[in-house]
Amino acid sequence: MTKTILFCATVDYHFKAFHLPYFKWFKQMGWKVHVAASGQLRLPYVDEKFSMPIQRSPFHSQNLAVYQKLKQLIETNEYDIIHCHTPVGGVLARLAARQARRKGTKVLYTAHGFHFCSGAPVKNWLLYYPIEKMLSSYTDCLITINEEDYARAKGLRKKNGMTEKIHGIGVDTERFQPVSQEEKQRLREKHGFNAGDFILIYPAELNANKNQQLLIEAAALLKDRIPGLRLVFAGEGAMEETYRSRAEQLGISRQVQFLGFCRDIHEVIQLSDVSVASSIREGLGMNVLEGMSAEKPAIATNNRGHREIIRDGENGFLVNIGDSAAFADRIDRLYQEPALRRTLGLEGRKTAEHYSEKRTVEEMAEIYSVYMGKKEKSV
């Protein structure tokens, strides 16, 4: 009988962006792949997709109905493995799978960055830590992507279940590869940039946590020092109008560009000069790794995810959260020193190769293999 895995997340785009290689791997292993998430995207390598109107707020009333729907789905299909992602998707799926675990279904959860972390608000600890502590009892394997979360996860799970750490979710180092100067200029012409522009790229959702305001303020400090400065945001989000207004207030509307969702984000990264990231909280920093993979020097805020991949002064720069002056200083230094941009970019590429898609698929295959055998009753 063909075995089946269910992947669950809050939104289906999460799978399109990060998990298709794992779907493909399961298909190659002869398994069926089911997906449960909010959204209407068509995903490759998927046998069945179930639309679940999961809401990002854990307190949204609609999530109770989603829980019941998920529970029925899990009980009907008798999955061999359930792998859940994202905070709310992870909560609902693990709660809904409690009865199935007693019958032998294995439940895995990947924490892409705990909301309770060093420096997080007290309210995050009061809300999310007890929830994760409780849910760890319903999780056969808790997977983390940085050292801080890995240590925290082991503390959550003093008795049952495995705790693992992998190298993120995998960078496509073939897609995000360095290009020649000629190709860089061709891409600039294609996307409407000038040859002399000095381009900073930040592919991320426009929200409070990604903290694009820090970059806008840093760019404002440099508007008279760097001719052709361009701060490029690739992404959508609820804070777009707020950030547009802030750029206008600081007199740099012409230097800040909002591209929205980009299907060819690898090209926008390749045509840029520096990869920047200003997030307050980060699990790892895939956007930074994609820039590093393309040999772009990185400047990022000093949080647990960025610390995991950036060695300050060796393969990029780390800047304290909120310090726009220090961020501007690092940008200016890279503008003034092309040789340093080249050195940091080369080191960044070496770092990105440690987080390649090939490596993370191999790491996850090793974890999955533990749970792909004959079902056994969970304790």
* DSSP track, 282-323: -SS-HHHHHHHHTT--EEEE-SHHHHHH--BTTTEEEE-TT-
Section 258-272 average pLDDT: 95
| Span 213-226, pLDDT tens digits | 999 999 999 999 99
Distance from C-alpha of 324 to C-alpha of 303, rounded to nearest angstrom = 15
E-strand stretches of the chain = 4-11, 32-38, 48-51, 81-85, 106-111, 141-144, 162-165, 198-203, 229-234, 256-258, 274-277, 298-301, 316-319
Residue 93 pLDDT more than 70? yes
| Span 111-142, pLDDT tens digits | 998 888 777 788 888 888 888 889 988 999 99
Residue 374 pLDDT more than 70? no
Q: Which residue has the higher pLDDT, 59 or 196?
A: 196
Residue 51 pLDDT more than 60? yes
* Cβ neighbours of residue 274 closer than 8 Å, sequence gap 6 or more: 198, 199, 200, 201, 296, 297, 298, 299, 331, 334, 341
| Span 21-46, pLDDT tens digits | 999 999 999 999 999 999 999 999 99
Mean pLDDT of the chain: 93
pTM value surpassing 0.85: yes
| Span 224-263, pLDDT tens digits | 999 999 999 999 999 999 999 999 999 999 999 999 999 8
Residue 105 pLDDT more than 50? yes
Section 1-26 average pLDDT: 93
In this prediction, residue 154 carries a pLDDT of 87
In this prediction, residue 273 carries a pLDDT of 98
| Span 284-329, pLDDT tens digits | 999 999 999 999 999 999 999 999 999 999 999 999 999 999 999 9
Section 186-203 average pLDDT: 97
pLDDT band (50, 70, 90) for residue 159 = low
Residue 100 pLDDT more than 70? yes
β-sheet with 162-165: strand ranges across: 48-51, 32-38, 4-11, 81-85, 106-111, 141-144, 162-165
In this prediction, residue 361 carries a pLDDT of 96
Residue 9 pLDDT more than 50? yes
Section 161-188 average pLDDT: 95
In this prediction, residue 378 carries a pLDDT of 44
Q: Are 165 and 143 in contact (CB under 8 A)?
A: yes
In order of their start, the domains of the chain are 4-169+357-371 (3.40.50.2000), 181-354 (3.40.50.2000)
